[in-house]
Every structure is written in C-alpha cells, then in structure tokens.
Amino acid sequence: MIAEFNRKANVLKYILFSCLSFLISITATLSIADDTSVEKKDGEDFFLNDSSLDDSVFSDEDLFIEENIEKEDSWLSFFRYSGLLSHKTSYSYLHKGVDITGSKSKLNLKLSVSPSDSFWKLKFNWVGFYDSAYHIQGRSSFTKDTLDTYETDSEFKELYLDVDFTNWLNLRVGRQFFSWGETQISQISDVGNPRNFRELGLQDLDSIRQSVSASKLTFFGNNWEYNLIAIHEMRQHELSTDGSEFDPYITIRSNQVIIDNEIDLADSLSNTEFLTRLFFSGHLGDISLYAANVYEDLPILDLTSVDINTGVVHFTPVYERTNVYGLFGNVVSSSFLFKYDLARKTGMPVIRSSDNIFNQINSNPFNVQSFETKSIDQWMLGVEYSGINETSVVFEYSGQYIEDHHDDLADEESSHKVSLYVSHDMLHDTLLPTFWWSYDFTERTNLFKIESSYAYTDEIKLILGISGFLVGDKDSFYHPYRNNDRLYFALEYGF
C-alpha cells in the first residue's frame, strides 16, 4: 500500500512538473520566436526605412460584419440571454479510494429583461449540475449527505429586480451579490456574501461567493456611492458534509464526539442582517468605508451535551451575531495598484482548545463553555502589477489578530498568509495560463492551482488544470486533506 502511495506521489510530481514545463516552454518558445526569427532574416533597418504601405494585406470583411450587425439589432433591445454548458472531469492521483473525483455536467442560464430606456431591469441567473462520478464509483460508497450535496444541485445565483427611481437612486431587490473588498483570497470585508468552502478554497474563484436575498438601496453621484442593505435570507458558508473528502470536522468526528446537525437560522425579521457602505472614487484610487451587523458565516461548535455514562460529547454548529467596521480600497500609481482591506470584528466566536474543553468536562460536564467571543482585527495588503506585456501579477499578504488572547483558545493569537497570482494572455487572448499559490504560515501549508484555458472558438473553451495541497506536518488543519489533489479537464460551450 505504501509502495502504491509512493508511486502515485511520484506520478503527481511528474504531472506537476510536466504542466509547469509545458507552460514555461510555450512561453519561452513564443518569446524566442518573437525575438529572433525575423531579426536574423531581415534586420531592423529593413523595417524602419521601408515607408511603403502594402494594400494587399487588407482583406474585405465588411459584408461579413453587416450580417452580424443585422442579427444583433433584432434581438438586443428587450431580452438578453446567454448560457454556458460545461463538463468537467477531475482525477485525484493521491486519493486512497476514489480516483475519478468528479464528472460534473453543468448548465448556467442567464436572462435579463429590460425594455430600452426603461427604469427597471429583471435578471435571472440559474445554475444546475449533475455529477456522474458518484454513479460511476457506486452510490452506495457515499453518505446520503454527500450525495445530496455533491451529486446534483441547482439554484438561482441571481434573481432580482433593479429599479432606478431617479438618476441618483437605485433599488435592487432579490437574490444578489455585493462583492465587497479588494482581496480575492480571504473574506475580510465581503461579509454580505457567504462562501462556498465545499473544496476548502480550491474551487473556482467565480463560484466561491454565495448570493443572498436582500434589498439594496443605492444613492450615487459621479464619484461616490452610498449603499444601505438589508439581508433577508439567512445563508451561511457552504461546508462539506459528513463522509465527504473535504469534511471540515474530519479530525474531530469519532465515536466519542458527535457533530449534530446545525440549528438553521430562520429567515425572520429579527435575524435580518444590515450593512452600509460609503464609496468614493478619485484619480488616485478608490476607498470604501463600511459597517455591518451580520451573522458570522462560519459556524462555531457549541458543546450541547455530554453523556456521563458513555462519555459521548455532542457539539452543535451555531452562528453568532457580530459587528464589523472597516475600510477597503486601492491606490493607483502607473502600472501598480496597491490595495488594502482592513476590518475590526467584534463578538466573533473563537473555539477553545480541546484540552481546555475536556478539562471542563472532567470538572463539571453540565457547564462547559466550548467557545467565547472576542474582537478580531483582520487585514490584507496587496499589490497588482500590470506593466509586463499581457501579464498580470497579484501579490497579497493577509492576517488576523485576536484581541485579549489567552492560551485556552484553539486559534493562535495572530495568523498570516500570502498568495501570488500570475496570468499571461497569449495567442490573441485565446490561450490563458494562470498560476495561483497561497501559503498559510499558521498551518504551514501550500495551496496551489495551475490552469490553462484555450478558446478553440468563440463558443468552445478547453481547460486543463491541477490543484492541491502541499502540507507541512501532521498538526496542520489541512493534513487530512493532503491527498485531495485534482487533475482536471473541462470543456465549455457558451451560447
């Protein structure tokens, strides 16, 4: 078994190395071809001294365009629709049991209705998927929760009505996104939209945010905006289920520790969450100041009962209401964009250490406090550089500090992580290799994703990628997930 494991580890390393080599070689080949082939043949002077203009290079494409414009005008005035049909197959080289980890077919339909020059707009954005990997592997191998969550699902990502009362007042009612904050990695300022953590941060960025039903009133001028938001739908982070490979409680669950079903928050008036933001924009950059009274979207484990006879401990995931104040924005300087997210969160639940909880159980099992609330400061400082031809480089450093920290808490007083994202457009934007890497100093773990997408036509796109964890040691939170690597291939058809 160990030999098999080592073999697979070597295969993964080989694949990873091959992908990197592939990307580097493409870039290098194109760069070398750019710089040498013609230089040897013609030389610089030939070009610079030749002022003639060769008309034969131009082709007549006018008729082709005319046909397209006619087609466009007949549809665009009232309804706009688009969609995406995709299939993604994922394979896990290091996985111990299941190799085909995903075979997901997904349909995304978007429709907007807006009569020209009207004061209102209706938008639908629906996504549904079916993952046949569970059927291929045998459905009996998986828990009901896992099948319910991962095998098939559908939802309205967006379903809202936009109303412009005047040219400075807008109301948006329905399921929507707010997408606050500058960071793409951590959830610091983006407290309105919960996250999808079903793959612990390895999922696509465009599917990580979750929408909520809310009413958003926006007052705005030429260079400012003020938002008042009431969230009516109590929706929290989507976590993996019991029995799935990304189950966040995988190390806690045992015969002695039971994680009960969480207590859902009702979509009631008293639970309504409130957010407000003031945004300014100027030549030097943008800035947003905000405040929110919301539920922390990550549940905290509340010890609900201890069976003295059997020693079985029951925890229930619960949600705590918090206050958040902060600012985020950016400063532009030439090809650099410096960005920041700063937040102070009060009433944040912090879990106590397992030693502390078991000491409490031993001394008085009927009065155990498994967590306490603290004020937490969070920040992100980042820089984006776009001065390299067709290339974007983004670096972020983020961290958090728990105030009034003491040794009985499970989390460390401060934690830090860094991330790097690089993308490079090639072949007239048809080939896009991207590289993302993040290192969590507290958990001593690397997360990575290397992906390359190729637009075969305007409608058809091919995607090849690899993602996973490189875990430092057994104490890391990510250690149980160290084999959940992914090698994936996707085919997308847009319409």
Q: How far is the CB of 478 from other proteins (least distance, A)?
A: 25
Q: How far is the CB of 190 from other proteins (least distance, A)?
A: 9
> Counting Cβ atoms within 10 Å, is residue 472 exposed (0-12), middle (13-18) or buried (19+)?
middle
Query: What is the secondary structure of 139-163 as a DSSP string?
Result: GGGS-HHHIIIIIEEEEEEEEEEEE
Q: How far is the CB of 234 from other proteins (least distance, A)?
A: 20
- Cα 330 vs. chain centroid, distance in angstroms? 20
Among residues 217, 237, 128, 205, the alpha carbon closest in space to that of 164 is found at 217
Pairing of strands 100-113, 120-131: antiparallel
Q: How far is the CB of 215 from other proteins (least distance, A)?
A: 16
Q: How far is the CB of 155 from other proteins (least distance, A)?
A: 15
Q: How far is the CB of 58 from other proteins (least distance, A)?
A: 5
- How far apart, in Å, are the Cα atoms of 385 and each of 202, 389, 390? 24, 11, 11
Identity of the residue, 151 or 164, whose beta carbon is nearer to other proteins in the bound complex: 164
3-state helix/strand/coil string of 231-252: ECCCCCCECCCCCCCCCCCCCC
E-assigned strand segments in 386-427: 391-402, 414-424
Identity of the residue, 440 or 492, whose beta carbon is nearer to other proteins in the bound complex: 492
- Name beta bridge partners: 76: none
Q: How far is the CB of 361 from other proteins (least distance, A)?
A: 45
Q: Which residues contact 372 (CB under 8 A, 6 or more apart)?
A: 349, 350, 352, 409
Identity of the residue, 386 or 476, whose beta carbon is nearer to other proteins in the bound complex: 386
User: From CA 119, how far away is CA 167, in angstroms rounded?
Assistant: 9
Q: How far is the CB of 365 from other proteins (least distance, A)?
A: 47
Backbone angles phi, psi at 427, to 5 degrees: 50, 55
* Both tokens assigned to 136: 């291929």
User: From CA 248, how far away is CA 113, in angstroms rounded?
Assistant: 41
Identity of the residue, 110 or 405, whose beta carbon is nearer to other proteins in the bound complex: 110
Q: Which amino acid is at 317?
A: P
Identity of the residue, 426 or 470, whose beta carbon is nearer to other proteins in the bound complex: 426
Identity of the residue, 358 or 489, whose beta carbon is nearer to other proteins in the bound complex: 489
Identity of the residue, 51 or 309, whose beta carbon is nearer to other proteins in the bound complex: 51
Q: How far is the CB of 36 from other proteins (least distance, A)?
A: 9
> Counting Cβ atoms within 10 Å, is residue 253 exposed (0-12), middle (13-18) or buried (19+)?
middle
Identity of the residue, 231 or 300, whose beta carbon is nearer to other proteins in the bound complex: 231
Identity of the residue, 39 or 264, whose beta carbon is nearer to other proteins in the bound complex: 39
From the CA atom positions of the chain, what is the Rg in Å?
26
